[in-house]
């Protein structure tokens, strides 16, 4: 059994390595370069309201969850930006443990809601639904490509 610890900037390179491996596979298939993933992770860690957990087995970080909170008129919400597990350690319940701990911590902190963006297909929607997440009915995600 592993140990959950707060994320630290000193492990950003390892988080980036995990992120690049995890998001380069199914269902995302995004061509992440490890050096870009490290920058991505560091930017989240540097946010004033950032929060993160790492999962450590045998002194090796094998998964992490990162996000940040923001105050709205109805209370403070938390957005999970990243939940990633090294592909060599997937399928062992690590993501579940990280997510459960995050939800517990957010309740303790008085957070009124947790949000995330995930793939619209594959196993991820069902994974999050099993943890109490549902598709938003009042908002949609919109985007714009810039030339």
Tokens 């992490």 sit on residue:
64
Residue 140 in this model has a pLDDT that exceeds 90 = no
pTM across the whole model? 0.91
Sorted by where each starts, the structural domains of the chain and their CATH numbers stand as 3-130 (3.40.630.30)
pLDDT tens digit string along 52-94?
Answer: 999 999 999 999 999 999 999 999 999 999 999 999 999 999 9
Sheet holding 50-57, edge to edge: 3-6, 50-57, 60-72, 75-85, 113-116
Short-list 16, 18, 8, CA closest to 50: 8
CA angle 32, 35, 36 (to 5 degrees): 55
pLDDT tens track for 14-65 = 999 999 999 887 777 888 999 999 999 999 999 999 999 999 999 999 999 9
Positive/negative CA dihedral, 133, 24, 14, 16: negative
Q: How would residue 135 be classed by pLDDT, with cut points 50, 70 and 90?
A: confident
Q: Is 1 in a helix, a strand, or coil?
A: coil
Residue 7 is classified by DSSP as -
Question: Rounded to an integer, what distance in angstroms lies between the CA atom of residue 38 and that of residue 48?
Answer: 18
């Amino acid at each position: 059994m592993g140990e959950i610890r707060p994320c630290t900037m000193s492990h950003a390179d390892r988080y980036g390595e995990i992120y690049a491996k995890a998001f380069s596979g199914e269902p995302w298939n995004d061509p992440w370069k490890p050096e870009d993933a490290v920058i991505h992770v560091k930017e989240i860690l540097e946010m004033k309201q950032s929060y993160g957990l790492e999962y450590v087995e045998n002194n090796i970080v094998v998964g992490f969850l990162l996000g940040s909170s923001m105050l709205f008129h109805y209370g403070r919400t938390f957005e999970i930006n990243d939940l990633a597990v090294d592909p060599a350690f997937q399928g062992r319940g690590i993501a579940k443990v990280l997510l459960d701990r995050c939800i517990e911590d957010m309740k303790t902190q008085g957070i009124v809601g947790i949000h995330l963006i995930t793939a619209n297909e594959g196993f991820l929607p069902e994974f999050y639904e099993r943890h109490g997440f549902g598709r938003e009915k009042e908002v949609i995600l919109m985007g714009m490509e810039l030339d």
